[in-house]
Amino acid sequence: MANYLLVHGAWHSGACWERVVPLLAAGGHRVFAPSLTGLGDRAALLGPEVGLDTHVDDVVGLILAEDLTDVVLVGHSYAGLVVSAAANQVPERIAQLVYLDAMVPEDGESAADVQPVTRSLIDLALRSESGWRVPPLPELPPPAGLFGVTDPADLAWLRTLLSDQSVRCFQQTVRLDNPALAAVPRTHIHCVVGVPEGVVRRPVAALQPNGTPSQVWELATGHDCMITMPVDLAELLLKLP
């Protein structure tokens, strides 16, 4: 039995994993899909002080509170930074890091460093009336859609899950200075349909930090694959050692 901890990306909520959770749980695994502070069912907690460090504390706090070990820690999109920094704090509890169409940072990098297009969102937020709110990205024509979602029913549901994010989430940097972090196996899952213009995916090195060959899988769908291709995503996650 594994412990799957699914961490959503920017603007989303833990509910976005609704179609994946039962598929993993059916195999007898424990599955956690929390909403990060200030988002989803915790949107009332949003404020300018909420940042990347807040979300890292959310994840580490859950792992410690539940005394989880052998954790398959999945970070989608922005949450690639969150899970990286969380694993840096408790590497002995992490069985696998999964970067799901995610930002993959180096030590000392922010979201804006990993994904430069994010800088424009930061600038807009700083110039806005609030000075810190970052609204969800706009819907684009297919196949990009809204985070890769184009089906009308799925779009209607997704819109109910989205809320503003604090600019501090994109400004704060990750701390990846624990030597034990390098030993944690990594898997990268890339969604390859409808990638918006300006979004850049860093190439994955041939070898993981632990010296073993990198594992990269692709899903022929848009960014929010947990909504558009939940069965295929769950099958990949269940294949992890």
Catalytically active residues are 77
Dist. CA 231–CA 241, nearest whole Å: 18
The residue type of 92 is: E
Pairing state between β 30-32 and 3-7: parallel
At 36, is the secondary structure helix, strand, or coil?
coil
Dist. CA 144–CA 33, nearest whole Å: 25
CB 213 within 8 A of CB 206: yes
Beta strand spans in 68-157 (E): 71-76, 94-100, 133-134
CB 85 within 8 A of CB 175: yes
CB 29 within 8 A of CB 57: no
CB 5 within 8 A of CB 68: yes
Dist. CA 15–CA 34, nearest whole Å: 8
Dist. CA 45–CA 2, nearest whole Å: 31
